[in-house]
């Protein structure tokens, strides 16, 4: 039986510093999330390390059970909220643009490696993940993970919807001038595939990038549950599975596909 | 060699009447289109007959070379603009929700039968088309046809982009409360699949339906080239193939798909 889940979406910090600074920001956000009654805190892409930080990405890369994980796990356990965070993951000689979900007991419950790499910013530093659909559960709701550019491809959200995902959690690092992704693409994804989407962006500047902010939560019927501006902000939203059921009863897109007519998608 | 093509998008008439009234409205719109220097006039779904008109749909249904075609052909030839119009098409014992394109010489150059039927409004009256990608050419630009609900499915626009469509022409009959389709889904389609989309809606009321208006033209980079309000209106927009090339150089979504990861789509 699924129930309503409250989520805090942290668009920050405005100034990305060293790992200790970023972990401090995550800790403060987690504490505020608990005070707001949230079950989960979602933070942006590469929230633990910074994103457009050049060679520091590789210096700060670590395994999924490394010091960053241990620190976030301790934060989650102590304040009693699940935490979604981003970091560069080292696995063997490879580095991925990864997201990890730690539950309120401090246990890792999901790990996702970005599958659609964006431009030189990603391709110069990361290998792509090879597993598209990674899911976890919060309060009985089936959640899924995508990262930034991934969600610009309707196929990714379709794959999640077909696998039973009800709520897509999307840490991102969207920069100017691509605001259309936050304002139009994300609502389209929620509506066309009938899922909740929480899209949690960075803000401020890093080197040459100005991030868009515009973190948002969209219900399956297209309703905007919350939207941040450009600067540091935290949104608190309730994800209600009853709203999913009532939207899917009206918006029957998943059932109305003409899959017999779509070109078979071969590599 | 493709060149810039000017299009007039006619959101009307406000009061849908009998076929003669609707053909009069198309004729007036065609004349104004020619005066504006447009090469093509696009009109809404079922523009020749009315859409939510109950059993009249079947009474007014005719073959693709019937009296409605002959009248539109004569208008197109006389004013010297191509015309895209919608009508119920009778073929054998079957009726389809169809769109036809007549060039400026009065010749039929494309016919499309709506493949994704919407609710009882369509399913109670029409059979679905079985050909998804129908194309034609205007000024060297590869154009494609979709109707209303079709465009809510990202797979349809992907199929067009993969088949070389550069400009999707979409007559529609979008009603309240589904404004999100005009305001968010259509721009998302243009951007994610890197095509121009002209979405031409009905306005006013028919029986229980209040149409949304909000006819729009969206460039591949997401730029809104024009948008109508709720009432009768004509937009004049220029579709520039150079803007397609420059957008696709930056927005590389079509190339960046991870088709190796998407579930094969079998019936």
Catalytically annotated residue among B27, B62, B89, B114: B114
Q: pLDDT-derived band of residue A267, with 50, 70 and 90 as boundaries? A: very low
Q: B264: pLDDT confidence band, cut at 50, 70 and 90? A: low
- Closest alpha carbon to B209 in B9, B10, B22, B46: B46
Among the ranges given (A75-79, B17-21, B244-248, B263-267), the one the predictor scored with the smallest mean pLDDT: B263-267
Give the C-alpha separation, A161 to A196, whole Å: 10
B243 min Cα distance to partner chain A (Å):
16
User: Residues A10-27: what's their mean pLDDT?
Assistant: 94
Distance CA B158, CA B20 (A): 37
Encode pLDDT of A127-162 as tens digits.
999 999 999 999 999 999 999 999 999 999 999 999
In B, minimum Cα distance to A253 occurs at B153
Residues of A in contact with B255 (CB under 8 A): none
Residue B252 vs residues A172, A237, B190, B222: alpha-carbon distances, Å: 18, 33, 13, 14
Q: Under an 8 A CB cutoff, do B184 and A222 touch?
A: yes
| Relative orientation angle of helices B154-162 and B186-193, to the nearest 10 degrees | 30
- Adjacent-strand bridge partners of B86: B99
Are residues B180 and A116, on separate chains, in Cβ contact within 8 Å? no
Residue partners of B35: CB distance under 8 A and separation at least 6: none
Which residues from chain B sit within 8 angstroms of residue A156, using beta carbons? 262
Q: How many CB pairs under 8 A join A and B?
A: 106
Residues of chain B contacting residue A227, judged by C-beta atoms under 8 Å apart:
none
Closest CA to B58 of B50, B211, B99, B15: B50
Beta bridge partners of B83: B41, B102
Which pLDDT band, with edges at 50, 70 and 90, does B169 fall under?
very high
Q: Is B265's pLDDT higher than 70?
A: no
B158 CB within 8 Å of a chain A CB: yes
**Rounded to an integer, what distance in angstroms lies between the CA atom of residue B71 and that of residue B5?**
24
pLDDT at B267 exceeding the cut of 50: no
How many Cα atoms occupy the beta-carbon half-sphere of B12 within 13 Å? 22
ipTM score for this prediction: 0.95
Tell me the domains of chain A and their CATH numbers: 5-256 (3.60.110.10)
Residue B2's pLDDT band, with cuts at 50, 70 and 90, is: confident
B114 catalytic, yes or no?
Answer: yes
Residue pair A81/A27 in contact by the 8 Å Cβ criterion: no
Percent of chain A with pLDDT over 90: 95
To the nearest whole angstrom, how far is the Cα of B124 from the nearest Cα of chain A?
15
Is-contact B22 B176, C-beta < 8 A?
Answer: no
User: What is the pTM assigned to this prediction?
Assistant: 0.96
| pLDDT of res. A104 | 98
Across the range B226-246, mean pLDDT stands at 97
pLDDT of B33 above 80: yes
Per-residue model confidence as pLDDT tens digits over B127-148: 999 999 999 999 999 999 999 9
Q: Is the link from the previous residue into B186 a cis peptide, with omega within 30 of 0?
A: no
User: Residue A18's Cα: distance from chain center in Å?
Assistant: 21
Per-residue model confidence as pLDDT tens digits over B173-228: 999 999 999 999 999 999 999 999 999 999 999 998 999 999 999 999 999 999 99
What distance in Å separates the CA atoms of residue A135 and residue A167, rounded to the nearest whole number?
10
Strand partners, B169: B145, B198
Contact B259 A253 (CB under 8 A): no
């Amino acid at each position: 039986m699924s129930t309503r889940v409250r989520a805090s979406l942290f668009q920050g910090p405005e100034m990305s510093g060293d790992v200790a600074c970023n972990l401090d920001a995550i800790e403060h956000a987690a504490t505020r999330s608990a005070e707001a009654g949230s079950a989960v805190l979602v933070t942006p892409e590469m929230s633990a390390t910074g994103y457009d930080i050049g060679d520091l990405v590789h210096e700060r890369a670590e395994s999924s059970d490394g010091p960053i994980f241990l620190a976030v796990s301790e934060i989650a356990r102590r304040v009693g909220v699940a935490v979604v965070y981003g970091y560069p993951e080292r696995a063997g000689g490879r580095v991925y643009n990864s997201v990890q979900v730690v539950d309120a007991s401090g246990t890792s419950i999901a790990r996702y490696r970005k599958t659609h790499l964006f431009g030189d910013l990603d391709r110069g530093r990361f290998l792509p993940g090879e597993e598209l659909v990674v899911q976890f559960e919060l309060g009985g709701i089936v959640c899924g993970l995508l990262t930034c550019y991934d969600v610009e491809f309707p196929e990714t959200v379709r794959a999640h919807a077909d696998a039973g995902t009800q709520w897509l959690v999307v840490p991102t690092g969207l920069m100017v001038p691509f605001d259309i992704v936050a304002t139009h693409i994300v609502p389209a994804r929620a509506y066309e595939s009938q899922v909740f989407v929480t899209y949690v962006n960075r803000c401020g500047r890093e080197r040459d990038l100005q991030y868009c902010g515009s973190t948002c939560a969209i219900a399956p019927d297209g309703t905007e549950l919350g939207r941040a501006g450009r600067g540091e902000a935290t949104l608190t939203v309730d994800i209600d599975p009853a709203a999913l059921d009532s939207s899917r009863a009206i918006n029957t897109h998943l059932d109305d596909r003409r899959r017999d007519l779509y070109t078979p998608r071969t590599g």
